[in-house]
């Protein structure tokens, strides 16, 4: 262990203590050779082939970055599917009974999904979205708290090639309406409500207000009955359980997407002006977060990753 005292310019804590890991622990890390820093400095952008090798491609890319002027096109010519990378390939490798998600609610409720459980429900909801008219490149807005149906909806959208537009559940109806219009989204997945700090927060009413506030027509709204308050559904409103039940056992082939196709979009907070739409593309996003999970977080098969932040800031295909 080595100690250091001094100002921390990034955190502003004033003092800090540096604790080095045991040598035996450091030696078992995924990345142990510090020459990798030189590799990423000296061979850019080809160094990103190392990251691209951590994911599965339907069609291999032809060039890491063919142009050095915007708009940039990473992994040109490559095709892949995010849902396949997050689910199918792990099941094919024998991990179907391994825990994929373990969730605990604000009130202590727990749910556990194996990779096979997750695969089944993602396929069922993907089939349901298609039945509701969602096609490739249609944007599906997800206005949900941190519940298991959120990653299921994300992966279902990715499976059919529909970008998802994630909206923080704490935002108002006005903010949701703005983001629906900005994303040109006709489909909304939300829930009746959730608990936060001991209080019930009702989302269905905010979602319905947002539908009235945006000039953009919403074709369909899917409601997860998280609190059991899904009453008085309109003609274009459906419960999540109803749709999944109707498509029980469905299998949906993952749609090949260009590396440069949009995987999901998110908006900036809007605290300094109108929210700005930010798009994350399939190839670059998956390669970066999967490589980062291995090289920086040092995640390995069988590790448990604790996520207490917003889920959509912490996605990876590992």
- Per-residue pLDDT, 216: 72
What is d(CA 138, CA 156) in angstroms, rounded to the nearest whole number? 13
What is d(CA 19, CA 16) in angstroms, rounded to the nearest whole number? 10
pLDDT in tens, 204-233: 999 999 988 887 778 789 999 998 865 656
- Per-residue pLDDT, 112: 98
In a domain, 10, yes or no: no
Residue range of the domain that includes 197: 43-313
In a domain, 13, yes or no: no
pLDDT at 11 over 70: no
In a domain, 184, yes or no: yes
pLDDT band per the 50, 70, 90 thresholds, residue 235: low
* Highest averaged pLDDT of the listed ranges 9-18, 25-34, 245-254: 245-254
pLDDT in tens, 13-24: 567 788 888 999
- Per-residue pLDDT, 309: 77
In a domain, 117, yes or no: yes
Provide the whole-model pTM: 0.89
In a domain, 170, yes or no: yes
140 within 8 A of 185, measured Cβ to Cβ: yes
pLDDT in tens, 162-204: 999 999 999 999 999 999 999 999 999 999 989 888 888 889 9
Domain count, the chain: 1
Q: What is the Cα Rg of the chain in Å?
A: 21
**CATH number of the domain enclosing 247:** 3.40.50.12780
Q: Average pLDDT, stretch 253-262?
A: 98
142 within 8 A of 189, measured Cβ to Cβ: yes
What is d(CA 303, CA 293) in angstroms, rounded to the nearest whole number? 11
pLDDT in tens, 55-94: 999 999 999 999 888 889 999 999 999 999 999 999 999 9
In a domain, 155, yes or no: yes
Work out the percent of the chain whose per-residue pLDDT is above 70: 91
pLDDT at 310 over 60: yes
């Amino acid at each position: 262990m080595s100690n250091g005292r001094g100002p921390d310019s990034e955190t502003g804590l004033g003092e800090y203590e540096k604790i080095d890991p045991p040598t035996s622990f450091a030696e078992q890390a995924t990345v142990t050779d510090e020459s990798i820093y030189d590799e990423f400095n000296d061979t850019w952008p080809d160094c990103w082939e190392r990251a691209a090798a951590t994911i599965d491609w339907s069609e291999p890319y032809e060039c890491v970055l063919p142009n050095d002027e915007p708009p940039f096109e990473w992994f040109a010519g490559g095709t892949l599917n995010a849902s396949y990378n997050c689910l199918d390939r792990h099941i094919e490798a024998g991990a179907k009974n391994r825990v994929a998600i373990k969730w605990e609610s604000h009130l202590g409720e727990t749910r556990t999904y194996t990779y096979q459980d997750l695969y089944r429900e993602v396929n069922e909801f993907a089939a349901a979205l298609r039945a509701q008219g969602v096609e490739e490149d249609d944007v599906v807005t997800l206005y949900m708290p941190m519940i298991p149906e959120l990653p299921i909806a994300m992966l279902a959208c990715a499976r059919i090639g529909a970008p998802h537009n994630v909206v923080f559940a704490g935002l108002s109806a006005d903010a949701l309406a703005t983001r629906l219009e900005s994303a040109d989204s006709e489909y909304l997945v939300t829930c009746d409500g959730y608990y936060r700090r001991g209080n019930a927060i009702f989302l269905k009413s905010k979602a319905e207000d947002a539908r009235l506030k945006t000039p953009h027509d919403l074709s369909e709204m899917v409601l997860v009955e998280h609190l059991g308050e899904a009453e008085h559904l309109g003609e274009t409103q459906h419960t999540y359980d109803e749709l999944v039940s109707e498509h029980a056992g469905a299998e949906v082939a993952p749609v090949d997407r260009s590396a440069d196709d949009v995987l999901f979009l998110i908006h900036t907070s809007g605290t300094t002006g109108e929210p700005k739409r930010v798009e994350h593309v399939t190839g670059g996003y998956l390669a970066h977060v999967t490589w980062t999970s291995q090289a920086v977080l040092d995640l390995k098969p069988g590790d448990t990753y604790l996520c207490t932040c917003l889920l959509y800031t912490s996605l990876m295909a590992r």
